[in-house]
Chain A
C-alpha cells in the first residue's frame, strides 16, 4: 500500500480512493499491486520515474506550454518565402471549425452505422480529390507525400514484377531519402538527370536508363523546384513503351489551372494535401494521397483503406463501407498489401472541406493569383544586381534564385534577411550539387506585393 492512492485527477474519475476501494472490493483484492502479480519482480520498475513535476491545474499547464511556444517566431510575425514541401496558404475558418469538431476529432474506427459521418466525409474527400485529379480512385490519406510516393512505387513494382524505379533528380531531397529507405531492399532507385538550363527532365538520359527492369518512372509536376514540367506526355509515353508505369507527384492545389497527371498519361498520381486548408505545424500536418484509374488490378494493389458508397436496407438512404478490405494487412498480415493503420484521416476530411468551399472557381482563381504573384516575385527579385533565376522555365509558386554572382552565400543572405524579419528561401546547396548558391523561393496568396517589394529592397541593401 502506498500513499499514491490519494492522487485524484480530473482525467481519471476512478482515482478517487473511495471508488477505488469499492472496485477493488468488487474484484476481491486489497492492494492494487495484486493486479500486477503476473509481472515478475525482476521486470517491475520500483523507482519513481524522473519526470518533471506535473502542472496539475489547467491554468498552470497552459501557461507553461505557452511560455515555451513564445520562443517561436512564426510565419505570421515574419514574412516567409519558405516552401519546399510545406506551404503557407490561407486556411478558411470553416476548415478549422470542422477539424476541431469533437465528433470527428475523437472518433476512431467505428462501424459504418454509428460512425456513418466519418465514412461519408472521407468518401467525399476521395470524390472531391478525384475531381481535381481527374481519376476515379483516391485513397483514405496516408501519412504524407513521401509515403504516398513510396507506396505508389511499390504498387508499380508489384504490378510490373520489376524492381527498379527511375526518379527525377529534382525530387525533394528530404522526400527522396525517405522513399529510398522505404524501397530498400525490394526496389532500387536510379536518378534521371534534369536539363541544367530548363530544369525539365533530360529525356535522353531517361531513355538511356530505361530498361526491362524499370517498374516506374517518377517525376513531380510542378516539380520540387517549382518548375512546370511540359514534357509530361513524352515521359509517360517513354515509360509505357517500355512496359513501365508512370507515377507523377503533384500538389492538388495547382490543378485548378494546371493539367492533372491523368491527362498526360500518368498511371498513378500521388502527393500531399497539406496545401488544402491545413496549417503548416512545423511540417507535421501532412496527408498523402494516391490516385488512379478504377481498374481492378490497380485498386487491388492499394494498401490503404478505400471507402465506397453503397445503399442500405432503406430506400433512398446512402450507406458507406470499405471497398476490397481483403487486400489489407488487417485481413492478411504480411500477406496483405504493405501495411495499413492510423494515418491522417482528419486532415483528409479537412482537405475535403477546403475543396468544397473553394469550388471550381476558387481553385482556378487561387491558381491564377499564385501564377501572377510568382511571376511578379521572380521578376522583382532577379532585378537585384547579381541575382538571377536559375532555370528558364515556367514556374508555379516556387522558383530557384541563384546568388552566385553576389559573392554571398545563401546562409549569409538568409541571416541578414532574418534581422529584417524575413525568412529567405530554402537553401538548396546541401542537397543539390551545382546549386551551392541557390535558394528556393516560394510565394503564396499569403505574401503581399508590399512584402515582396520589401524583400527586394532588403536584398538590394544586403548585396
Chain B
C-alpha cells in the first residue's frame, strides 16, 4: 500500500442547512415526548395536582416553548451539530493553549454506563465504592505526576481551580495572622487571564509582570515586586508562548523568602508529563485541567474539570470532602477543620474525572512520557515549517526550542500585504480548519497560536501547514478569496454591529422579537 501524504482539501465545504431557530419550527399541537401520567391510585389521593400550588404562586400563562415533533427536534439539533467543527473532524491544532487532542471513544462508552450516570451523590458510601475508588486512584496518579501530596477534584475547571488556589492561599495566611497584610498576588502577562481574574475574586490586588526580549519575566522584576504584602505567585510554565522559564526555581525561592506561597498553573502541562514536576520547581500548589492534558472532551466549552494539588502543609485547607481509605473502604472525609469549605456542588465533575482516569490508565507512565515527547516533537516540527512560510514569525527567543505550543505572528505579512491573522483565520475555515482568534493578551501583533499535541499524524500536520502556506501565497498574490472568506463555511461575514449595542443585541429569541420584530 502506498504511504498517505498530505493534501489540502480545496474542495471542502462544511455542511450548511440554513436551519431555522427552534422557535420558527413551532407547529401548535406537535409533541416532542410524552410525559407519563400518574397511577390511578395516586390520582385518587392527590387529585388533579394544580390546586396543590397556592393560587398566588400558579403560573397564569404556560411557558412560551415551541411545540415541535420528536423527529424534527432531533433533525434540528443534528443539523446544528453538523454546523460545528469538533476535533473529531478537523486537525484541531489552531486553538493553541487549549490542548485539542484525541478524546478516546472508549472513554465515552465507559462514562455512559449507568453504573456511573445513575449515581446520586448522597447514596450510602457502601453503594458508591466504585466511584470513590476511581477518585482515590486518580488522586494517586496526580500525586505522582506532580510530586505534590494531596489532590482535590472539586474544581469545576482550570479557572475555577485558580479561584480555589487563591482561597487556599488566603486561608493559609489568615491562619498565620497575615490575612490582611498579604493582599497581593503576582502573576505574569503570558499566564492565563484567569490567573489574574480568578485570584482577584479573593480580594487580591494583582501585580502583573511583563516579559523581556526573550519572552520571559526576569528575576529582577520579580524581586522588585515581592514584599511582605505578597500572598502568592501564580504563574504558568511554559507560558502561552511555549517558552519554558528555566529560572522558575529562582522565582519560587524569592517568593518563599518573602513569605509568599507559589501556585503553578499547569494548564500547559501537555509537554511536561514525566519530564518535570511541580515539586522539583518548589511549588506549594498546582492545578491541572482534565479537559486539556488528560484527554477529556471540551464539549463546546465544558463540562470541564480541574485538579488542585498541594504540599502536605496545605492539605488541611483543601475543600471538603476528600476521598480517603480505611480498612479497605473508601469514604468521604469531611474532617478537615481548617478547610476552605466547599467550592462547588458535591464532589467534582464525576464524568470528567472518570474519563481522565480512563485516559491515564490507557497510557501508564511510559505512555504519558511518550505523549509529552511527541507533543513537543510535533510542536518543534511544525514551528520549523511555519517559520519557513513567508510572512510568519515567532516573536521572542529566536532559535530556541519551544515546549508544546508557540505564539506566532503574521505582522510581517500584514505589513507587506495588508492581509493579517484575521483574514487567515477565516480563510483556514475554507479548508476545514480552525484557527481561533483568542490570543490574550494581545501583545504579539497579528497573533496565532498553534498547539499540535500528540494526537495528529505527521501527514495531518503537513495538511494544516499546507493551509497556512496557501493563505500566505494568497496574501502575497491574489487577495480575492482570502478577502471574501469564509467561502466554504457555514455562514458568511457576521454583522457585529449588534454585539455591543444594547438597543440591538438579542441574547434570546424573545429579545430579538422585541427589538427587531419577526422579520429576519
Contact = CB atoms under 8 A, between A and B. Distances in A.
A61 B361 contact: yes
A71 B133 contact: yes
A153 to B, nearest CB: 12
A296 B501 CA distance: 9
Classify chain A's interface size.
Answer: 35 or more
Interface stretch (B377-385, B407-415, B473-481): B377-385
A312 B274 contact: no
A284 B362 contact: no
Nearest to B208: A333
Contact of A13 (B14, B113, B457): B457
B215 to A, nearest CB: 11
Interface in B31-46: 31-39, 41-43, 45-46
Interface stretch (B124-132, B222-230, B255-263, B307-315): B124-132
A360 B65 contact: yes
B152 interface: no
Contact of B489 (A114, A127, A343, A345): A114
Interface stretch (A38-46, A211-219, A240-248): A38-46
Contacts of B325: none
Interface stretch (A88-96, A201-209, A400-408, A455-463): A88-96
Contacts of B432: 114
Nearest to B153: A284
B344 A143 contact: yes
B115 interface: yes
A45 B506 contact: no
A165 interface: no
Interface string A228-271: 11101100000000000000000000011111100100000000
Given A36-B275, A75-B118, A394-B53, A177 B80 contact: no
A346 interface: yes
A86 B202 CA distance: 28
A68 B130 contact: yes
Nearest to A343: B302
A362 B275 contact: no
Interface in B85-128: 85-90, 92, 95, 98, 100-104, 106, 108-110, 112-124, 126-128
Contacts of A284: 121, 303, 346-353
Interface string A51-64: 11111101001101
Interface string A110-127: 111111111011111011
Interface in A67-112: 68-76, 78, 80, 82, 84-86, 88, 92, 94, 96-98, 100-112
Contact of B46 (A11, A15, A124, A371): A371
Given A101-B78, A130-B508, A333 B206 contact: yes
A106 B38 contact: no
- In this complex, the member of B119, B137, B144, B368 whose beta carbon has the largest number of chain A beta carbons within 10 angstroms is B119
Contacts, number: 754
Contact of B302 (A38, A64, A342): A342
Given A128-B65, A345-B302, A285 B351 contact: yes
Contacts of A88: 118, 120
B116 A4 contact: no
B78 A230 contact: no
A175 B276 contact: no
Contacts of A319: 491-492, 494-495
A143 B157 contact: yes
B396 interface: no
- In this complex, the member of A7, A39, A146, A336 whose beta carbon has the largest number of chain B beta carbons within 10 angstroms is A39
Interface in B58-74: 58-60, 62-68, 70, 73-74
B508 A136 contact: yes
B346 A13 contact: no
Given A109-B301, A122-B300, A185 B170 contact: yes
A256 B60 CA distance: 10
A53 B366 CA distance: 9
Given A13-B458, A362-B31, A372-B42, A108 B100 contact: yes
A56 B54 CA distance: 60
B219 interface: no
Contacts of B89: 102-103, 106
Interface string A385-396: 000000000101
Contact of A329 (B22, B130, B197): B197
Given A280-B117, A324-B500, A345-B299, A117 B373 contact: no
B395 interface: no
A26 B381 contact: yes
A27 B381 contact: yes
Contacts of B198: 329, 338-339
A371 B110 contact: no
B116 A282 contact: yes
A51 B368 CA distance: 10
B1 interface: no
A12 interface: yes
A112 B491 contact: yes
Contacts of A369: 35-38, 49
A359 B84 contact: no
A74 to B, nearest CB: 4
Contact of A54 (B37, B159, B243, B361): B361
B509 interface: yes
B298 interface: yes
A284 B157 CA distance: 12
Contacts of B100: 108
A192 interface: no
B201 interface: yes
Given A12-B455, A45-B276, A126-B507, A341 B363 contact: no
Contacts of B67: 359-361
B429 A113 contact: yes
A11 B362 contact: yes
B108 to A, nearest CB: 7
Contact of A84 (B122, B289, B365, B492): B122
Contacts of B33: 92, 94, 357-358, 362
B367 interface: yes
Contacts of B208: 333
A118 B14 CA distance: 14
A232 B128 CA distance: 39
Given A180-B341, A373-B46, A321 B499 contact: yes
A310 B498 contact: yes
Contacts of A357: 32-33, 68, 70, 73
Contacts of B354: 65
Contact of A336 (B197, B243, B456, B493): B197
14 contacts: A13-B455, A27-B377, A107-B87, A107-B298, A121-B84, A143-B302, A285-B350, A296-B502, A299-B507, A329-B198, A356-B65, A372-B47, A375-B46, A376-B38
The 7 closest A-B pairs by CB, nearest first: A54-B364, A283-B346, A284-B350, A283-B121, A346-B299, A117-B83, A357-B32
Given A88-B120, A136-B514, 14 more contacts: A4-B369, A38-B401, A105-B88, A137-B507, A230-B56, A257-B58, A283-B122, A283-B346, A306-B507, A321-B499, A329-B197, A358-B65, A359-B31, A372-B43
